[in-house]
Structure formats: C-alpha cells, structure tokens
Chain A
Amino acid sequence: MFPIIHWNLFSLESLITLILVVLIVVDILLPKTERKDWIGTLSFVGLLGLIGFWLTQRNLVGETFGGMFIMDSLAWFFKGFFLVAMVFVFVMTQQFFKSLGSRRNEFYLLLWLAMLGMCLIASSADFLLLFISIEILTISLYVMTAYLKSDKHSLEAGMKYLILGALASGFFLFGISFLYGATHSTRFAAIEQYVSTHSMNPMILFGLVLIFSALGFKIACVPFSLWVPDVYQGAPTPVTALLSVGSKAAGFVILIRLFFGIFSSWHGQWHLVLAGLSAVTMCYGNLAAIFQTNIKRLLGYSSIGHAGYLLMGAAAGSVLGASAINFYLLGYLFTNLAAFLVIVLFFITVKSDEIADYAGLSQRSGLLAGVLLLALVSLAGVPPLAGFFGKFILLLATVQSGLVWLAFVAAINIVISLYYYLIVVKRIYVDKPRTTSPIPVSLSMRLILVVLIVGIVGIGIFQGPFLEAAMTAVKGTHL
C-alpha cells in the first residue's frame, strides 16, 4: 500500500524549496554586472511572506511520509524561531557583503538552504531524515564559514569546522546504526516504544553517547566545543550569528525530542550526566571568556557558557525545564543577534573586531553603544531584560528537579560572566576613543536595532505571553 502524503504539513518546507529554486533561476538570469541587490530584496520579501504563512500553521498537527515527518507545537515554535532569526541574519548579510558584489547572491542561496535544513530538523521524527536535515544545514554552514576566500582566518575556520563537523556526522551515523541494531528501526516512535519497555543496554547506551557527541558539536557543549572560538572569530559575522543562534537552537530542538521524548523513561540514568556536562560547560565557557580580546571570540566562549545554562533545563528533565530552554533561546535570539548586528555595523566602518577598538564607542555612536550595552547585560542576566527571566526559570526548573548544587554553580557563573561583559561595557562607555569620528548608522539599520531592543526589553518585562508560548510548544510533545 502506498502511504498518503499530507502535503499541507510539509508546505512550509516546500515553499522554502520553491523560493530557493526561483532565486537560483533569477540569479542565473540576472546580468552579473547588476549592482542592485535583487536577490537580497527578494529573499527578504519572501522571508516576511513565509513568516505570515507560518502564522497560519499554528494548529497544524500530524505526521506524514510514513511517520518520518511530524508537525506539532514544538516544530511550529522552532520553525518560527528560525524564520525570525533568519530575518536578522539576512539584514546582517546585506550589510556585511555590500562590497562583495554579485558573489553575495550565492551566499543568500546558502542561507536559504541552511534555513531549509533547520526547519526540517524541527520536524524530523526519524533518525534518517534527521541526519539528512543536519547535513543540509551543516554543509551550507561549511561553505559559508569559508566564504571570504581571501581571508585566511575565514579559511582556517572553514577547515576546522569541516573536519570536526565531518567527524560529528560520522559519529551520528555510527550512533544511529547502533540504535537500529538494538531496536530494528530508525523511527522515533518505534525507538521510544522499545525504550519504554526495556532497560538500558550497552548497545543503546553506546548509540546514545555517539549521537549525543554529535549533538554536543551543534550546541557547543564541552568537550565538543573546541571549534567554537576559532570558527566564531574567523567566519563572516552573519555566519557567526547564525551558528550561535540558529545552529544552537537546532541542536536543542533535537535534544528536546531525544531526552524529553524518546529517552524520557530513562530520565534517572541520564540526568546527572547532563547536569555534570552543564556545570563543566558553563564554567569552561565563562572562565575562558575572561581572557579574550576579540569580541567575536568573546561571544564564542560566552555562547559555550550559554550552552551550559541551557543544558540545565535538559538536566532538569521536566516540562518547566523544556519550556525554560525554549524561553531562554527566544531571549537569546534577540540578544545575541542584536550584539552581532552591532558588531557588523561597527566592522563596516572601523574594520576591526578587537575589543580595544571599541573604546569610547558611546561617544562615536550612542545607539550602537546602547544596543551593545543592553545585549551584553541581557546576556549576563540583568533585569528587566530577556536574559534575566530566562536564567530565572532555568534556575527554577533546576531547583525543582533537586539539582540545587547545579543552581549554585550557575549562580557563580552568572557573576563571572557579568565580570567579562562589564569589562566590554567599560571599554565602550568609560575609555577614551582613539578617534571621535562618528560611526554612521543608516535609518533602516536604526529601525532594525530598535526592533531588537524592543524584543530584548519586551520579553524581559512582559514575560507571561512568551513563557506561555514556550510552554505550549512542549505540551504537544510526549512529555
């Protein structure tokens, strides 16, 4: 019998593919000398249209392709997350590659491909589809990381990311084969059923460890985070932003499906492991960040620290823990993208990412300094900003699950992270600028920055609706 395919469940991904194809055709037809950024404009319009379409999919639930592809509230939440993040990444790309001319068109196409991969990840209900989606995302990221082919940092970053990423993919496939060997299926539902009726056995354990190490690569948790500082520093800044927000969130949606869905009946066995990883990850990220002199590298280590905080929610293993992860990512999206957009705009004029060059930024551009200040203190977890409430519910979930020691480790880390964020703040606001020439910010960029500020402050003050959205996202799953 041939299975029926519910195309409406798959419509968002179909549309992304369609737009991608149209853009390729437009790119071929356009004369190469065309200076105007047609692909960028079309991409932007297409993306806004897609967000509108995504809103209509709110109550769409079901599975298709024989259970390989599911659409539920979690998938819906994260697809929206990726689309919104992409809006800002497109803006950054448009600014960052102004000087690259027609070569930037291919970059947009790669971004669309990455987005397709992320949306598929959110809907995967089968390890094979999951593997393919991760590869779609990761391969486009390899290319984008090494995109500045005359910059040796970019090439180095691309190489590092490729080698470690390929290794992670290998682990992932190897892990899947073990799971298949034990359960005779790659389908999430089938494995979940097997897990709920069996106790832990070495074969599954081995498979799980291998799969987790591949995930650890995506979310940047210790010890799989070695690539982070170099790649964050070397990659073009829009790619860094995508890595830190999109790719990390994609890792966490898989983590939620895995540990809160498939393996949830073994919670007792894995939650201490996750708690330990969480503690080590946040300490490593935050301590190493203290010594950084490059802002992208600093945010790279800080992103490892944040992976550690997010893992607390996974270690908690409760509905609140999963909701906390979702909420935290939501705040992290606006906060981190705001920081990276400032870095892009700063780089365009000053051509530097060194923290020393940020000295006296407040006197060169009050807006850029203000946005970076808000982003940094929000990352540190200061109210009334988004990062504070995210940390608050993560701590709440952790304490509720009895991991009080982990909450204390997190508290120490919050103080450490405040230290290095405040050092950057000090540079921006207290130190004397080397030159007082103002840094121009166009009107459209001002608007985007204000949108990001509203996001950071709005989520931080009116936490209720966002928390409820984060909670409904996990309610539809098997929790």
Chain B
Amino acid sequence: MIIPHPLSWILLLPMAAVVFLFIIPSSQVSLIRRVANVAVLLPFLLSVWVFAAYDSAVGGFQFIEKIPWVVPLGISYHLGIDGINGVLILLLGFCSFAGVLVTQSVKERVKEYYILFLLMTIGTYGAFLSLDIFFFYFFHEIATVPAFLLIAIWGSGRKEYGAMKLTLYLTAGASIALIALIVLYNALGLGTFDLIQIHQHLVNHPLPIEVQNWIFPLIVVGFGITLTLWPFYTWAPIGYAAAPTSVSMLHSGVLKKMGAYAIIRFAILLMPQAAATWMPVVATLAVFNILYCGLIALTHRDIKYILGYSSCSHMGYILLGLACMNIIGLSGVVLLMFAHGIMAALAFALIGSIDDQTHTRNLDELGGLAKSMPFIATCFAMTALASAGVPGFANFVADIMVLLGAWDHYRWQTVLAVLGIVITAVYMLKTIRLAFQGPLNPRWNKLMDAQTSLQKLPFILLLTALIVVGCWPSLILKNIESGTKPILQNVRLTTLRGQ
C-alpha cells in the first residue's frame, strides 16, 4: 500500500481538525472529543505506517517532500524522515494518542483545550519532520507557546507561575539558538536553510573551527534548555507538576526531545569538530543532571514533582550519550528518547488518573491505593521498574547502550551515571511503597480503577510499546542505526580531514 505525501498528511489532518473545531459551537462536547480523537489517531497510524515502510537498508532521508516557500531567503517546506526522526514521530504518535485519550477527564472549556492540544501536536510533528532549519524553528515555537494557556487554564497548584516560567525559559533558549542558527546561515553564505544542502556543503568545506567553537555552545545551551540541561532545568518540574495530565505527558515525553533532536541535527551533524572540543563539558553537565536532579527527586513528597525531577535526571543519560560521539552511544540516545518518552508519558498518565479522583498527589496522604486501584498500581509498578532500568523494558537496553558508549571516553562520568540508576530505584520504590502499599487510607475507599477497555487503552498501549521494544530492541534499533551511522561517519571524515 502506498500513501501519497504521508508526512504532509500528518500535519494537515490535525490542522484541518483545528479549523473545524473553531467553527463548531463549544456546546457539542461529544462531537469535539470525537473529532479531536480522530485528528490524533490518524497521524499516529500514519506515523506507524511511515516507520514500518521506511527502508532501513537504503537509509538516508525518505518520503521527501519539498516546496520552495520563501525563495529570496532559501526557505523551503521540506519534509523527510530518516532513522532518527522516524522513531521520534512514532514516539509522538504513541504519546499524543494516549494523551488525547486521557483528556476525557477534562470537563471545562473542552473545545479550547483540544484546539491548543492539537496545535502542540502539530508543532511537535512539524519540528521533527522538517528538514529546513527555518521550519524546524517555526514548528518548535508553535509547539512551545500553547502550553502556556494549557497549563495556566487547566493546570493545578502554582499553575500561572509554572506556565510563565516554562514558556519564558523555552522561548529564551529558542531565541539564543535561533541567533546561533542565523549566524550559521550567514557564515555559510549558501543562501539556503535546507539542512541536506547545508550538510552536503559542510562535508567538503567545514566551517572554520573558531566559528564552530562559538556557535556550537549556543546551540547546545539554547536547545539544551528544552532538554533540561543542568542548570537550566528549573522550569521543568514546576511546569510538569502544574500542567494538566496530557500536557505533562506530551511535554516530558516528547517536547523536550526536540532539544536533543536539534542538538543531533544542528550541532553534531553540522559542526563535528566543535563537538570534539565541547562534548567533555556536556558529559560533565550530564552527570550533574543525573545526580543533582535525582537527589532532589528523593526529597520531594509530591509524586508529580518526583517524576519531574526524575525526568530531568534521566535527560542526563541522553546528554551523556550525545557526548560520546560513537554509534552505540548515539543510537542509545535515540532509543532512550523513545523509551524515556513512553515511560514518562505513562507515568504522568497514571498519576493523572489518580489525581483526578484524589485531588492530591502527596505521598503522605496517599497509601494503600493498590487495594482500590489494582490495575493502575500494577501499571505504575511496571513503569517504575522500567524507569529504574530493569531488563525487559526498553529503558534497560537504551541505558546499557549509553553507558557502554560512554565508558571509553568518560570513565568517572559513567561510574557516577550508574550511581544515578540506584537513586532512581530508591525514589521510585519509595513512591510505590508510600502511595500504593501499606494500609489503605479510608478516605480512598471509593476510588475507581480504570474499568472500561477505553480507559485502560492508553496505559496498555504505552506499556506494550515499552515491553515489546525492551524484548525485541532490533525492531527499532535497525532504523535508528541507519540514521545514526551516516552522522558519525561524517564526524570521523571531517575530523580526520581536520587533522
């Protein structure tokens, strides 16, 4: 079966749904929900199809679509996928679909919620699919800003503060990165924002090392803020804690991966020599991420804060993997993006389903929930195991790959990173013990477990993805490696030439 322009449809279908949602009156709640569910489901199916139809033996960019957009500046609407972003849109497909399913619990201002949620999804898809630097940034911002309203209106706790902090941090990072990208465009003098053309040019004519050396850190820090690079992570825990469930899922699961993706595409691919200089710094910051955020997670009593800091802590492994600059490390990073994304989305979805009923996420008030919600408790236990890197889940494979990749270059960092896994296990097991085990607080006698299969679907979907990939990693590793190999070949080529 051949679908023409699948990547454009992934963007256009939800866009059409947004326009349609604007028109229909907000009282038609069930119609709105149905339209939104379909508008997320279809791109999900398309992304699965695209991922399956991608020919990893051939490699390179496939399903390319290119339309000149702003000719005088060399901007084009240019989509395509390779092994790396193919996995990422698959991740987004899973998380957005699970997210839209748990959005059933949103009862107020439903129409606006779905419109903003769809905009966020479109932006993220667009950013992953774009092979044009301008359009990457364009979609990146579309993905970032709706979160402000989503958190400020439907959030909980210090929602206005959290929303503002998140938006301003991400915009500040993106603006820094934007200027770095413009400087890059200008230094090349090619007059195009097309990533493939720029890359081909750079293979033969690398930028002078002085130029690379000051653009590279700007891109890493700019997009690193999205990736909660230490010490710029403080927006994340408060933002996730304040956000409504599906936004926490999408944000911690997928949106922050845009940062790592941008670092792979713009920093490592285009400026490999600067990478050799700067990556040891990144590896050290990664250790701070892992230990510092992990230790903070130990001190918190609010489960969403624990998960938020845990998410920041796990980004350390992604940063460490990026720093290794070898195949096993980089492939591990992409696999970890997938595994962590699914795991984080799953964890936030589970906590969301508890919070909807208890209106508290404080470990001291919860307790014994396994008795009243056995399904949710079981899923959470499995998520916690995945998060702590237990074999059988995709996270284990990814963690191992990153650590193996890092061992050669960064000995002490790797040792400390392993310590981080222990810390994760401590706070995750603590959460399970205090929230789900022990005597059942009589306040929670009437809690409802996920009952209908529609309610269970998002959790089962995400858990299945984690286990299947965990048991059969080559299912997606094959694709990932076809994407990461050319990047590193190029790195080796240019560094050799540089010497």
Binding site for B on A (CB under 8 A): 362, 366, 377, 382-384, 388, 392-393, 395-396, 399-400, 404, 407-408, 411-412, 414-415, 418-419, 422, 425-426, 429-430, 463-464, 467-468, 471
Contacts and interface: CB of A to CB of B under 8 A. Distances in A.
Contacts of A425: 148-149
A384 B138 contact: yes
A407 B182 contact: yes
Given A418-B167, A430-B152, A383 B142 contact: yes
B172 interface: yes
Contacts of A404: 179, 183
Scoring B149, B160, B185 by chain A CB atoms within 10 A of each residue's CB, the highest score goes to B149
B167 A463 contact: no
Given A383-B138, A430-B153, A467-B73, A415 B182 contact: no
A238 B148 CA distance: 31
Contacts of B148: 422, 425
Contacts of B283: none
A366 B71 CA distance: 37
Nearest to B184: A399
B360 interface: no
A429 B163 CA distance: 13
Contact of B175 (A383, A384, A399, A414): A414
Contact of A426 (B142, B160, B175): B160
A429 B150 CA distance: 10
B145 interface: yes
Contact of A419 (B164, B176, B179): B164
Interface in B154-174: 160, 163-164, 167-168, 171-172
Interface in B183-226: 183, 185-186
A395 B182 CA distance: 8
A404 B106 CA distance: 45
A408 B160 contact: no
Contacts of A399: 179, 182-183, 186
Contact of B70 (A366, A400, A463): A463
A115 to B, nearest CB: 31
A422 B148 CA distance: 8
A388 B142 CA distance: 11
Contacts of B141: 382-383, 388
A321 to B, nearest CB: 13
Contacts of A426: 152, 160, 163-164
12 contacts: A384-B138, A395-B178, A399-B179, A399-B186, A404-B179, A411-B175, A412-B172, A415-B171, A418-B171, A463-B69, A463-B70, A463-B75
Contacts of B167: 418, 422
B72 interface: yes
Interface of B: 26, 69-73, 75, 112, 134, 137-139, 141-142, 145, 148-149, 152-153, 160, 163-164, 167-168, 171-172, 175-176, 178-179, 182-183, 185-186
Contact of B71 (A414, A415, A464): A464
Main SS at interface, chain B:
helix
Given A407-B182, A426-B152, 14 more contacts: A382-B141, A383-B139, A388-B138, A388-B141, A399-B179, A399-B183, A407-B179, A408-B176, A418-B167, A418-B171, A422-B148, A463-B75, A467-B72, A467-B73
Of all A-B residue pairs in the complex, the 10 with the closest CB atoms, nearest first, are A411-B175, A464-B70, A383-B138, A415-B172, A399-B182, A430-B152, A383-B141, A407-B179, A382-B145, A463-B70
A426 B182 CA distance: 32
Given A383-B141, A463-B70, A430 B182 contact: no
B182 A464 contact: no
A359 to B, nearest CB: 13
Contacts of B175: 411-412, 414-415
A437 B458 CA distance: 40
A39 to B, nearest CB: 36
A463 B135 CA distance: 12
A425 B148 CA distance: 10
A134 B484 CA distance: 62
A468 B26 CA distance: 40
Contacts of A396: 73, 182, 185-186
A362 B134 CA distance: 32
B138 A418 contact: no
A425 B147 CA distance: 13
Contacts of A382: 141-142, 145
B490 to A, nearest CB: 26
B156 to A, nearest CB: 13
Given A415-B168, A426-B152, A467-B73, A400 B186 contact: yes
Contacts of A400: 186
A193 to B, nearest CB: 31
A429 B152 contact: yes
A425 B183 CA distance: 32
Contact of B168 (A392, A418, A463, A471): A418
Contacts of A388: 138, 141
A430 B155 CA distance: 10
Scoring B138, B142, B164 by chain A CB atoms within 10 A of each residue's CB, the highest score goes to B138
Contacts of A414: 171, 175
A76 B179 CA distance: 33
Contacts of B139: 383
A411 B153 contact: no
B69 A419 contact: no
Nearest to B169: A415
Nearest to B70: A464
Contacts of B71: 464, 468
B185 A467 contact: no
Nearest to A464: B70
Contact of A471 (B72, B75, B149, B153): B72
A408 B179 CA distance: 7
B146 to A, nearest CB: 10
Given A414-B175, A415-B175, A464-B70, A429 B186 contact: no
B152 A393 contact: no
Contacts of B73: 393, 396, 467
A467 B179 contact: no
Contacts of B142: 382-384
A395 B112 CA distance: 33
Contacts of A383: 137-139, 141-142
Nearest to A402: B186
Nearest to A319: B72
A393 B185 CA distance: 12
Contacts of A377: 145
Contacts of A429: 149, 152-153
Nearest to B134: A392
A393 B138 CA distance: 13
A332 B340 CA distance: 42
B179 A395 contact: yes
Contacts of A362: 112
B4 to A, nearest CB: 23
A467 B70 contact: yes
Nearest to B119: A384
Given A415-B168, A422-B148, A468 B182 contact: no
Contacts of B183: 399, 404
A415 B26 CA distance: 33
A150 to B, nearest CB: 39
A141 to B, nearest CB: 35
Scoring A384, A400, A407 by chain B CB atoms within 10 A of each residue's CB, the highest score goes to A384
Contacts of B186: 396, 399-400
A410 to B, nearest CB: 8
A334 B486 CA distance: 46
B339 to A, nearest CB: 31
A419 B148 CA distance: 11
A429 B183 CA distance: 37
Contacts of B72: 467-468, 471
Nearest to A468: B72
Contacts of B168: 415, 418-419
Contacts of B70: 463-464, 467
Contacts of A392: 134, 178
